[in-house]
Amino acid sequence: MADTTICSEIAGTVWKVFVEVGDAVEADVPLLLLESMKMEIPVVSSDPGVVVEIFVAVGDSVAQGSPVLSIRC
């Protein structure tokens, strides 16, 4: 069991968060949506796991490369 931190690939704003801490998530399913330049960019986990921590909330600005949530795989 290792915690994987998922980082934002873009600079943008958190538009929607689909998961809560403790949720079991599948691979390649959007966990949250970022918005940048009027585009919705989904954040996905490449592996299934459980959400351990969410570092952002709707409306937050995120920088490219900054952590958005962590998953225990």
Partner 1 sequence: MPKIRRVFVANRGEIAVRIIRACRDLGIQTVQAYSEADANSLPVRLADEAVCVGVAASKHSYLNHAALIGAAKASGADAIHPGYGFLSENADFAELCEAAELVYIGAQSSVIRLMGDKAAARRLAAETGVPISHGSEDPLDNPERAAEIANRIGYPILVKAAAGGGGRGMRIVTTAADLRDSVERASMEAAAAFGSGAVYIEKYLHPVRHVEVQVLGDGKRVVHLGERDCTIQRRHQKLVEESPSSALTPGLRRRITESAVALASRVGYRSAGTIEYIVDEARQEFFFIEMNTRIQVEHPVTEMLTGLDLVALQIRIAAGEPLPFEQSQIRFTGHAIECRINAEDPERGFLPQPGTLTEYSAPSGPGVRVDSHAFPGYSLPPQYDSLIAKLIVLGTDREEARARMQRALREFHIVGVPTTVKFHQRLMAEPDFVTGNVHTRYLKDTMWAGHPAQKML
Which residues contact partner 1 (rule: CB under 8 A)? Answer: 9-13, 16, 28, 36-39, 41
How far is 73 from 60, CA to CA, in rounded Å? 26
Neighbours of 34 (CB within 10 A): 23
Nearer to partner 1, 9 or 60 (CB): 9
Nearer to partner 1, 1 or 37 (CB): 37
Least CB distance to partner 1 at residue 52 (A)? 24
Nearer to partner 1, 41 or 50 (CB): 41
Contact 63, 8 (CB under 8 A): yes
Widest CA span in the chain: 37
Least CB distance to partner 1 at residue 1 (A)? 26
